[in-house]
């Protein structure tokens, strides 16, 4: 893969976007609250599949949200799985009701 990858936050769309070679490849949608951010959907276009883009996108989004001082509420199943398998230094995870935490997974 030689195309440049760019990840950015787009507040107008309430999403973190990932672009490959200038084309939008996917997004992680969020709802920003007071001191918290809820990630409710992550999508990568199937034509960009198999490149690890979803993981890179979620890592960037969670790192950025943590740097902004937001608690992370992972409602999206992909974000939940990513958080269980990876660490974001300094992140405060607030599991939604009914979700299994890493210790329960």
Sheet holding 36-44, edge to edge: 5-10, 15-20, 23-32, 36-44, 71-74
Query: What's the total number of domains in the chain?
Result: 1
90 occurs within a structural domain: no
**44-95 confidence digits (pLDDT tens):** 999 999 999 999 999 999 999 999 999 999 999 999 999 999 999 999 999 9
Q: Model's pTM, two decimal places? A: 0.90
Q: Which two tokens stand for residue 12?
A: 């107008």
8, 43, 81, 101 from 85: Cα distances, Å: 23, 19, 6, 11
Give me the domain span that covers residue 34. 5-85
103 occurs within a structural domain: no
- Domain holding 29: CATH number? 3.40.630.30
* Cβ-contact 93, 74 below 8 angstroms: yes
Q: What is the pLDDT at residue 3? A: 85
């Amino acid at each position: 893969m030689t195309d440049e990858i760019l990840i950015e936050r787009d507040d107008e769309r309430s999403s973190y976007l990932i672009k490959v070679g200038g084309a939008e490849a996917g997004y992680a949608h969020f709802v920003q609250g007071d001191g918290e951010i809820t990630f409710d959907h992550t999508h990568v276009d199937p034509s960009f599949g198999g490149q690890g883009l979803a993981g890179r996108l979620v890592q960037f989004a969670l790192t950025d949200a943590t740097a902004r001082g937001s608690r992370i509420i992972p409602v999206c199943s992909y974000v939940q799985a990513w958080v269980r398998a990876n660490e974001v230094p300094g992140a405060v995870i607030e599991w939604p009701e009914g979700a299994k935490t890493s210790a329960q997974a």
